[in-house]
Amino acid sequence: MKILQVTDLHLVTPGETLCGLDPLARLEACVADINRNHSDAELVIFTGDLSETGEEITYRALAGALRELVPTYRLMLGNHDNRDNFLRVFDKAATHGGFVQGVEDTREGRLILLDTLLPGRPEGRLDEARLAWLRDRLDEASDRPVFLFSHHPPFPIHMPLLDRMGIIEAEALYPLLREHGNVRHIFAGHAHRPIAGSWRGIPVSVLRGTNHQSALDFSPDRIANTHEPPAYAVIFIDANGVIVHFHDFLDRTAAYY
Ligand SMILES: [Fe+2]
């Protein structure tokens, strides 16, 4: 099974820029690259920070750009998003208990898409209602493989400023995943960096956004925005494992044969 992950679009009012870049033009280039190279993907998952401002106009711009996208897609929210404004535009999005979260059952297992948005705050939350929902979805999956998608990484990435903006209830999340026993991978956004590793034995990956990125800076209290290239992830899942390719879709450097 081939799926794609796209994250941290940070759309602003069309025509305006963010960090000296045009987020909507970046998204359109990403969509065009996906259609050109991966129109056969089974699903594209957008892991949050769809908007920079949370304004309704940004979600309308997103809806317009996604009309061009060939594969099926699912949208998740991040800390910059506004749930109410999002749902005004994407009124058919799956919600549970008011949260934009859901599952996709595939032949390779269950994908679980979390809503970690805490309005007005950069941190993520999985309060009791959301943890209870997740517990039920994990129980339903029984021993089938589970793949978790979360805007906020629940694991530390050793960049102190970003780690302070993680999931408040990460310590409550982990026992649920361990209890299920077959969570194969956690895919996250939020950090605007390519990162891979494992968290207490569970493989994890994070990738760059489609607009601006975060500098690789381990300072305690600062992170610069950068113009490192935008990327999306091409993910292959089968019974043997999970492979994540990070694709810099604007890269036009020469190729040699
Ligand atoms: Fe972001």
Q: 126 CA distance to ligand 1 centroid (A)?
A: 18
Residue 38 is predicted with a pLDDT of: 98
Compute the distance from residue 135 Cα to the ligand 1 centre, in Å: 27
**Cα 8 to ligand 1 centre (Å):** 5
**SS3 for 31?**
helix
Tell me which residue of 195, 253, 205, 144 sits closest to 4, measured CA to CA: 205
The band of 64, judged by pLDDT with boundaries at 50, 70 and 90, is very high
> What separation in Å is there between the alpha carbon of 151 and the centre of ligand 1?
9
Written as six digits, the tokens of 158 are 């050793």
Query: What backbone phi and psi angles, to 5 degrees, belong to 99?
Result: -95, 145
What is the whole-number distance in angstroms between the Cα of residue 253 and the centre of ligand 1?
27
- Structure confidence at residue 142 (pLDDT): 93
222 alpha carbon – ligand 1 mean position (Å)? 15
- Dihedral sign of CA atoms 35, 190, 109, 97 in order: negative
pLDDT attached to residue 199: 98
**b/e per residue 215-233 (b: at least 16 CB within 10 A):** eeeeeeeebeebebebbbb
Contact yes or no for 221/90 (Cβ under 8 A): no
Q: What percentage of the chain exceeds 70 in pLDDT? A: 100
Report, as an integer, the average pLDDT of 163-175.
96
Return the pLDDT at 99. Answer: 97
CA of 208 to the centre of ligand 1 (A): 9
Distance (angstroms) between ligand 1 centre and the Cα of 144 equals: 31
Give the C-alpha distances (Å, rounded to integers) separating 43 from 3, 145, 254. Answer: 5, 17, 30
Distance 114 CA to ligand 1 centre (A): 16
Q: How far is the CA of 199 from the centre of ligand 1 (A)?
A: 21
Would you call 145 helix, strand, or coil by DSSP?
A: coil
User: What was the pLDDT predicted at 188?
Assistant: 98
Q: What is the pLDDT of residue 15?
A: 97
State the DSSP string of 178-220: HHH--EEEEEE-SS-S-EEEEETTEEEEE---SS-EE-----S
For residue 20, what is the DSSP state? Answer: T
The per-residue pLDDT for range 32-41, each reduced to its tens digit, is 999 999 999 9
What local confidence, expressed as pLDDT, does residue 127 receive? 96
CA of 257 to the centre of ligand 1 (A): 37
CA–centroid distance for 55 within its chain: 19
State mean pLDDT over 190-194: 98
Give CA–CA dist 45/31, Å, rounded: 12
Tell me how far the alpha carbon of residue 233 lies from the centroid of ligand 1, in angstroms: 16
pLDDT value of position 62:
98
Q: What is the pLDDT of residue 210?
A: 98
Domains by residue range for the chain, with CATH: 2-247 (3.60.21.10)
Q: What is the pLDDT of residue 49?
A: 98
pLDDT by residue (tens digit) across 38-61?
999 999 999 999 999 999 999 999
For 132, list phi and psi in degrees, rounded to 5: -65, -40
What pLDDT, in 10s, does the model give residues 2-13? 999 999 999 999
Q: Give me ligand 1 centre to Cα 191, in Å.
A: 7
